[in-house]
Each structure stands twice: as C-alpha cells, then as structure tokens.
Structure 1
Amino acid sequence: MSNSLKSRVFSTDPNAWNNTWYIYVGAPLLAAIGATIGLILGSHLARGEVENALVMGTCIVMTMLIGFTILAAIDKRSATES
C-alpha cells in the first residue's frame, strides 16, 4: 500500500481525501454492511453474547478496513485521471 493510500485509510483527517463524501457516506454504509454480516455470521458461529459481540465487531472492522482501502484506491485513481 502506498503512502497516499495509508494516509487515507488510517488517518482521521478528511483533508487527505480528494472527495470527502467518501468518508461521510462510506463510513456509515460500511458499518451497516459489517453489522449485517456480523449479525448473520454471529448467529451461526457464536453461542454466547460475548462471542456474538466479538464476531460482530470483527466483521465491522474488517468490512470498514477493506471498504476504505477500495474507496482510497478509487479516490487516488480519480485524482490522477483529472
């Protein structure tokens, strides 16, 4: 991952992004998708409340990390094309 992708994915600064709408629309959407996946997987993988919360939290984190990496690649590519 290049430095510009790292600064977009792991930074809390919205100025690192060329289009800040990726953050404002992407974060809640990715969190909702991760929670939905976690809810579905948690009912199959977890037997207790703690395990269910861990599965859901892991799904949310992984979905947001993968989603923001994809959005950062799109944002970087759109900046180089224009």
Structure 2
Amino acid sequence: MDNTEWVEKFQQRIRHQRHFQCYIHATHEDEALLYKFYTFTSVFHAIFWPIILFLISSICLCIIYLFDKCHVWTGDQDVIV
C-alpha cells in the first residue's frame, strides 16, 4: 500500500470508530502508533529460538568434550598439526 491508501484507511477507521487504542511513545508524546510492530509471538520466537540453539550447542559441546577429553592439547605441541 502506498501512503494515500493508508491515509484513506485511517480516515475510514476514524469515521466508524471514534475511540481506538493507540500506543504513545514514552519520550515523544506527540507521536503515536495504531499498531504494535512486535506481537507477543514474534518476541517469543526472537527470544526462544536463540536460547534453545545456545543450549543445544552447549550440550553438544559438553558431550563432545566428555567423549574426546581434548587429547589434542595434552602434548607439548603449541600448534595443532
């Protein structure tokens, strides 16, 4: 949608509904939003999946460490060859 369509849609909404919920910016009181950009599900997925990925990666690294015991670093080698 271009800007004129959004303006017309907003005008129609004001005509039919006199009171509606909007979200006011904390520091800019003269600005308001009609819709939240981030829904609960989008915030949930943005937090949940990275945490799960981090936990699974950590578990995999711990399992690999338990089986391998980092034998590569036990010698006097400074560089892995």
Structure 2 length as normaliser, TM-score?
0.35
Structure 1-normalised TM-score?
A: 0.35
Which structure is higher in strand share? 2
> Larger helix proportion, structure 1 or 2?
1
- Higher relative contact order structure (alpha carbons within 8 Å, sequence separation ≥ 6): 1
| Larger gyration radius, structure 1 or structure 2 | 2
